[in-house]
């Protein structure tokens, strides 16, 4: 009898790869769109969740299926065993990258919204995805703007020393060197949620993601 | 200024919940189906992957979007840090349950295919999902049949003592006490892949999952 080949991956021994007859291209045809990961990175308060929601609404109005993986939300479930210490932050991002990859493979426009402050973690996620399907969106808002918003009251706590290792205050944010989309102020004004979403939609449209 | 409330979940401190304007019901309407998790459990060689693939093909032919989470495949990515020791097997199942929950929330018919030998682990995944959206499929095939197939050659290794803790050989399989769908032999014959898939499709159709 022919045995399916088994191998070792990481700590998993004796595992095989099962290929199903319905694949990514079939699902994309069914949905009339192409799966990808829109990775929104930036400081707390820079507007990541706002963009994610505006974008999912705009995509929905065009009949496109998207799904938002929000860093905070995923910590309520899949990643609730992880803290904010450095190795756990890296693992948090790795797992979200792996899940985003599955969603993109399912044909979905997956919108991942998380601070993801270190370039190496984001680049590791990029490396998981087929070429050109990892779309990095950098929310390039000045720290003063984010801190003035302080939607969750976290900057105040960080300034008071009650949160340690807070990105932008006592932990660095490394801006992307090669992001696909840059969101920033114009003439000292922040773009509206709709304007930010349109900027991403334009990119998706021009690059063929909105058709199967 | 009103601060968004933050809380602690597991080891994650200061996290908030972001609700997006496009929700599960909207996505289901777009797809014309209802999201759910079809959890296929059974011995190695019992036909889990075969059913998963036949089911995804049949759903596709009806214009339904499904996605297969295969226990082995996920160990190539999200769960490659996990071994087969008991606590890692439990964590493997927990993570797949959490990811399946996200897929169901996205409106997708998520087909999870993994041995998942312990009742408590499967029930923990069931508890994650909204009521009636966790559909447990028990591949009730005799050990002799599975061992005779030995698609991956693992039973032989387990009998030779080269794999320890192999389900059915030196580690128990706990059959579900309340599965939604039971797949089994009839008159000593195993059902064909198409017949198994039809049995699940019938359940989905009768319970309204194939319409939005």
Catalytic status, residue A7: no
* Contacts A–B by Cβ distance under 8 A: 189
In chain B, which residue's Cα lies nearest the Cα of A3? B152
Looking at residue A1, its pLDDT comes to: 39
Looking at residue B4, its pLDDT comes to: 60
Chain segment A5-14, per-residue pLDDT in tens = 667 777 777 7
Crossing angle (nearest 10°) for helices A24-31 and B48-61:
30
Looking at residue B2, its pLDDT comes to: 46
Q: List the pLDDT tens digit at each of the 212 positions of chain B.
A: 345 666 777 777 776 677 778 999 999 999 999 999 999 999 999 999 999 999 999 999 999 999 999 988 899 999 999 998 889 999 999 999 999 999 999 999 999 999 999 999 999 999 999 999 999 999 999 999 999 999 889 999 999 999 999 999 999 999 999 899 999 999 999 999 999 999 999 999 999 999 98
Q: Determine which of A63-67, A133-137, A148-152 has the lowest per-residue pLDDT on average.
A: A148-152
Looking at residue A2, its pLDDT comes to: 46
Element (H, E) at A95: helix A86-105
Q: Is the pLDDT of residue A15 over 80?
A: no
Looking at residue A4, its pLDDT comes to: 60
Chosen for mutation from A22, A32, A79, A129 (greatest number of chain B CBs closer than 10 Å) is A22
List CB contacts (< 8 A) between A16 and chain B: 72, 152
d(CA A139, CA A59): 19
Looking at residue A86, its pLDDT comes to: 85
Q: Is the pLDDT of residue A197 over 70?
A: yes
CA distance A56 to chain B (A): 7
Domains in chain A (CATH in brackets) are 23-206 (3.40.50.300)
Contact A102 B67 (CB under 8 A): yes
Helix (H, G, I), strand (E, B), or coil: what is residue A65? Answer: coil
Nearest to A105 by CA among A207, A24, A208: A24
Contact residues, B window 30-89, toward A, CB-based 8 Å cutoff: 30-31, 49, 52-53, 56-57, 60, 63, 65-70, 72-73, 75-84, 88
Q: Could you report the predicted ipTM of this complex, rounded to two decimals?
A: 0.92
Contact B80 A9 (CB under 8 A): yes
Nearest to B46 by CA among B116, B143, B164: B143
Note whether B17 contacts A: Cβ–Cβ < 8 A.
yes
DSSP assignment letter at B169:
T
């Amino acid at each position: 009898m022919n045995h399916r080949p088994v191998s070792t991956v990481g700590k998993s021994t004796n595992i095989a790869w099962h290929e199903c007859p319905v694949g990514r291209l079939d699902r994309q045809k069914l949905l009339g769109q192409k799966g990808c990961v829109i990775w929104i990175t930036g400081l707390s308060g820079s507007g990541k969740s706002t963009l994610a929601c505006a974008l999912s609404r705009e995509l929905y109005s065009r009949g496109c299926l998207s799904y938002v993986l929000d860093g905070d939300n995923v910590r309520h479930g899949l990643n609730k065993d992880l803290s904010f210490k450095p190795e756990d932050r890296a693992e948090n991002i790795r797992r979200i990258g792996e899940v985003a990859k599955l969603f993109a493979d399912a044909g979905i426009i997956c919108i991942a919204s998380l601070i993801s402050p270190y370039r190496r973690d984001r680049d590791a996620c990029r490396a998981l995805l087929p070429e050109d399907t990892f779309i990095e969106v950098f929310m390039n808002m000045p720290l003063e703007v984010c801190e003035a918003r302080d939607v969750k009251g976290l900057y105040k706590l960080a300034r008071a020393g009650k949160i340690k290792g807070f990105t932008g205050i006592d932990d660095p944010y490394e801006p992307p060197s090669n992001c696909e989309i840059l969101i920033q102020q114009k003439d000292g004004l922040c773009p509206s949620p709709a304007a930010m979403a349109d900027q991403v939609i334009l990119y998706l449209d021009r690059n063929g993601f909105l058709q199967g």
